[in-house]
């Protein structure tokens, strides 16, 4: 009975941790999507206007483009972290696969030859 109670407590803890990671990664990805990337795009547009008015040089424009690319790459990485956290949460909700389930889906039990 105590082992069953311990397993239930561990399962709830794992789900709480997975949900916390999921929620944090979602908030970060949303922040990049809604605030950082549009702000950098607007800054790039303004710098292009300043470049066209000959107020800044080519190198300033290139540095700004590099920072915009960096922010988009950071958004993509945060989105990747979000999808990983979501799959971890789904796995925590489903539970860990058991060895009995793995044995049932082995090639020997399906009758298909192993290639």
Residue written as token pair 């082992």: 3
The Cα–Cα gap between 85 and 90 comes to 9
Domain boundaries, the chain: 2-94
SS3 of the chain: helix, strand, coil, percent, to 5? 85, 0, 15
pLDDT of residue 102: 47
Q: pLDDT 10s digit of each residue in the chain, 115 long? A: 899 999 889 999 999 999 999 999 999 999 999 999 999 999 999 999 999 999 999 999 999 999 999 999 999 999 999 999 999 999 999 977 554 444 555 555 555 554 4
Q: Which of 86, 73, 81, 84 is nearest to 36 (CA)?
A: 73
pLDDT of residue 99: 47
pLDDT of residue 95: 78
């Amino acid at each position: 009975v105590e082992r069953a109670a311990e397993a239930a407590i561990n399962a709830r803890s794992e789900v709480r941790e997975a949900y916390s990671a999921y929620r944090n990664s979602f908030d970060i990805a949303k922040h990049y999507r809604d605030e950082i990337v549009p702000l950098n795009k607007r800054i790039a547009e303004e710098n292009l206007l300043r470049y066209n008015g000959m107020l800044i040089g080519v190198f300033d424009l290139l540095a700004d483009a590099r920072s915009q690319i960096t922010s988009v790459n950071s958004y993509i990485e945060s989105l990747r972290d979000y999808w990983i956290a979501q799959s971890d949460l789904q796995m925590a909700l489903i539970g860990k696969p058991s060895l009995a389930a793995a044995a049932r889906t082995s090639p020997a039990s399906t009758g298909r030859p192993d290639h």
